[in-house]
Chain A
Amino acid sequence: DSGVTQTPKHLITATGQRVTLRCSPRSGDLSVYWYQQSLDQGLQFLIQYYNGEERAKGNILERFSAQQFPDLHSELNLSSLELGDSALYFCASSGGGSTEAFFGQGTRLTVV
């Protein structure tokens, strides 16, 4: 168990809808990272938050947004969903001077 919790584990929704993925980082970790894993794009970094503030942005679509709350949990919001957004979405956290990031179990999103 990595200590990073993601909910829900599975999500099936229709095109055009909006969903929210939730992540609770390991205790004490201030950084949260979101990744998307799809068959055609592989594993891609989306966005990073550090202690409530956006720190780095990767290949995140404008239809996607994220935030980190005062209790350090983070949410990734995906809107106007398309079939191509179907993927495994990972949250990872790091902190305390450690070099490695620890990943949650992922949320498998299926858009139908």
Chain B
Amino acid sequence: AQKITQTQPGMFVQEKEAVTLDCTYDTSDPSYGLFWYKQPSSGEMIFLIYQGSYDQQNATEGRYSLNFQKARKSANLVISASQLGDSAMYFCAMSRAGGTSYGKLTFGQGTILTVHP
């Protein structure tokens, strides 16, 4: 079984500053994927970034980077230069790796990020 834990129910950050959203996971699968999704108040789920368990380098996508520490089973999301539009709920998720397994996701409880001007 897989489990995702997000221990920060809410986070606040000043505009233009960086923020780290925490995520720890547990799984018995030898190969897996880690994901972050953003859910604005409008409700849609937006894919942000993916990290494979065997990837040597941390994933980056524009202002988003994933700080992957396999030994600690953590996959924290770092958002640099925060913008007002980053205010949303953020979900960490994981899946087994391979084929059609990637969309079968286990989600954490989410972190609400508020960006102050």
Contact = CB atoms under 8 A, between A and B. Distances in A.
B107 A43 contact: yes
Given A90-B45, A99-B52, A31 B107 contact: no
Interface residues of B, number: 22
B43 A31 contact: no
B91 interface: yes
A103 to B, nearest CB: 4
Given A42-B110, A45-B106, A100 B47 contact: yes
B47 A101 contact: yes
Contacts of B50: 99-100
B33 A99 contact: yes
B102 A94 contact: yes
Contacts of B52: 99
A100 B43 contact: no
A94 B101 CA distance: 10
Nearest 4 interchain pairs by C-beta: A101-B103, A103-B45, A43-B107, A94-B103
Interface of A: 2, 30-31, 33, 35, 42-45, 48, 50, 55-56, 58, 88, 90, 92-94, 98-106, 108
22 contacts: A2-B46, A30-B100, A31-B100, A33-B104, A42-B109, A42-B110, A44-B107, A45-B105, A48-B100, A48-B103, A48-B104, A50-B100, A92-B103, A100-B102, A101-B103, A101-B105, A104-B44, A105-B43, A105-B44, A106-B43, A106-B44, A108-B43
